[in-house]
Structure 1
Amino acid sequence: MSRRGRVADDVTGATDQGADLAAAGRRAVLGIGPPDRIPADTDAVVVALLETTGAARAVAYAELSP
């Protein structure tokens, strides 16, 4: 199983995505902003970027870049 990542613009969207991933059998981690660390047994990471509501996709992904 490959590791996946998703970006949401609010907590509600992030929890919805996390629930969908969990229902599909994936071990999902949800964070407000980019996580400091990701457990090794995690299949998916969902990040809520609160400052990007309504922003373009490129802006949201730029928030996750190191």
Structure 2
Amino acid sequence: MKTFPLLGLVAIVLLAGCAELKHAGKDVGEATKKATTAIGHATRDVTRDIGHASRDAVNTVKEEIKED
């Protein structure tokens, strides 16, 4: 009958370990989400800036061709 308390203790230790792993997983997930969001926003901004610069360059060339 000594195995029953021992099994209970093992179950409690395992559940506590699972809770810690779950919390750590959530922390990693949140950090990953924030990092990918920051990368996505930066990529969007750079792509938009490149597009605007390209558009402006094309418009400038068109205007110079019309003037000639």
- TM-score > 0.5, shorter chain as reference: no
Higher strand proportion (structure 1 or 2): 1
Larger radius of gyration: 2
Which protein is richer in helix relative to its size? 2
Task: Report 1 or 2 for greater relative contact order, CA contacts < 8 Å, sequence distance ≥ 6.
Answer: 1
TM-score bin (small chain): under 0.3
